Structure 1
Amino acid sequence: MKKLISVVIILLISSNSFAQLFTKEKIPNLENMDKKILSWGYFLGFNSYDFQFNYEQDLDDILVDTTVGFQVGLTGDLRLNDHLNLRLEPGVFFTTRNLQYNESAFGGIDFRASDLIREVKSTYIHVPLLLKFSANRINNFRPFIVGGLSTAINLSSNENNPDDNSSGEFRTTNSNYFYEIGFGIDLYLTYFKFTPSIRGVFGLNDELVRDEDPNSPWTGNVRSMKTRGIFINFTFR
């Protein structure tokens, strides 16, 4: 997460530098690009996923160690008017989260050191439908905000696996739903448009598949487990 925050800071500083560069009148690049009804591109980026837990009882929290993952995908953009665009951004997202349990969760039950940690690997086919609102273009610079809804299929969920945490299998749901909000900057370069952006993603559904034992130390006290995360994308069009 610290590495991702550092990238965000660099992105913001760079954005400010670009703003200063473009406050003086420049020769406009790609003047007619934003007049296209449909346009296509691709994106690369980084992500940091987390889990938000709600509990049945006030016991020790499950700690989440996040890592920096990556994503790649395509963008489709439909122009609605001079300031509004509808965007579809299907992509493949890779991430890993490590859950750390407190010994108190086992309530005197014998356990091994490996029982205190669960690695949750996720490979999402992520499909957001977003509404993009852009400010007026200033030379070769145009900021925007974006928000919308998304769905994702988790190819690593193990939802239908008959084994549960008693056999070392932490299971999550296959289909998930989110809302997203973020901002970015369109930079009009000589031959293409480059768009750095940052977006928050927030889960709407409970993703935890519970163990067969209702008193399971891994899932018994969890009322809900929802994804939240940060995306940093670099889009090329």
Structure 2
Amino acid sequence: MKNFFIITFFLCCYQFSQAQLFTGDQVLNNENFDQQRWSWGYFLGFNSYDFNFDYKDYNPSPVTGQDFRVERRIGFNVGLVGNLKLNNNLDLRLEPGVSFNSRGFQAVRADANTFREINSTYVHIPLLLKFSANRLNNFKPFVVGGLSTSINLSSNENSPDDNSVGQFRMKTNTYYYELGFGIDLYLYYFKLTPSIRGVFAINDELVRDENPNSIYTGNVDKMTSRAIFINFTFQ
């Protein structure tokens, strides 16, 4: 499913760029859009979250090559965009939004009872720098990068229960760095921006179980989220 969305993203961008480069239509849509100091919009999109583990004593399963199995699923993003033009090729963007996601998690060295369903609702707030090429007809490619923070409303950080009673706990506050790219498409009535971005957590998110020998947390030195966002921004 994740590969389907990535392929669809590239096909849409390719078809639009081909039409702009190799047809005789040179009419510029929204010709003065980029002259605005401030611009606003909203985005809709998809996400896929995963976990990355650092171990105290790395001794993975000889069968799977890992201690944990993470089942990635497709989630949903929605949010707002505030864009400040710094110069013709550089913008500062604030993109507060909400991301909904679920992940399956299992310790592979134990039986099926170790499976945990991790449902997450993140209030995600990135501050990004957008570096754009010069506009060509009705499209403009760009790369983007920056820092972000999120509040996990489903973290269960303060729950007294842990994995021994089926409750997986994570930290509420997480910090990330983000890198991505996309294309601004200037349509007749608005600007559409498909983009793809990698999101990588910096701080440890795991809340340890009370049992120091827990199969879920005992051997984990650090657990961080990583994600792919595919967003469609309308301005």
Query: TM-score, normalized by length of structure 1?
Result: 0.93
Q: Tell me the residue number matched to 2:75.
A: 69
Amino acid at match of 1:83: N
Residue 84 of structure 2 corresponds to residue 86 of structure 1: no
Give the RMSD, CA atoms, in angstroms.
1.1
Amino acid at match of 1:17: Q
2:221 counterpart (205, 220, 223): 223
Aligned length, in residue pairs: 227
Between the aligned partners of 2:184 and 2:226, the Cα distance in structure 1 is 25
Between the aligned partners of 1:87 and 1:103, the Cα distance in structure 2 is 44
Q: Tell me the residue number matched to 1:102.
A: 108
The within-5 A match list for 1:40-189 is 40-57=40-57, 58-60=59-61, 61-104=67-110, 113-114=112-113, 116-189=114-187
Between the aligned partners of 2:127 and 2:148, the Cα distance in structure 1 is 6
Deviations along 1:20-68, one digit per CA (max 9) or x if unpaired, are 1111451101011111111100000000000001111213320100100
Between the aligned partners of 2:130 and 2:182, the Cα distance in structure 1 is 10
Query: Equivalent residue of 1:28, what SS?
Result: coil
Query: Equivalent residue of 2:210, what SS?
Result: coil
Q: Return the offset for 1:163.
A: 1.0
Between the aligned partners of 1:197 and 1:173, the Cα distance in structure 2 is 28
Amino acid at match of 1:46: F
Between the aligned partners of 1:207 and 1:224, the Cα distance in structure 2 is 7
Between the aligned partners of 2:212 and 2:184, the Cα distance in structure 1 is 51
Q: Which runs of 5+ in 1 are unaligned?
A: 105-111
Amino acid at match of 1:52: N
Q: Tell me the residue number matched to 1:236.
A: 234
- Deviates further, 19-28 or 33-42: 19-28
Between the aligned partners of 2:130 and 2:108, the Cα distance in structure 1 is 43
Taking only the aligned residue pairs, the percentage that are identical comes to: 59
Query: TM-score, normalized by length of structure 2?
Result: 0.94
Amino acid at match of 1:152: S
Amino acid at match of 2:164: S
- Deviates further, 123-132 or 215-224: 215-224
Between the aligned partners of 2:193 and 2:178, the Cα distance in structure 1 is 17
Between the aligned partners of 2:109 and 2:201, the Cα distance in structure 1 is 28
List 4+ stretches of structure 1 deviating above 4 A. Answer: none
Amino acid at match of 1:208: L
Amino acid at match of 1:144: F
Q: Tell me the residue number matched to 1:205.
A: 203
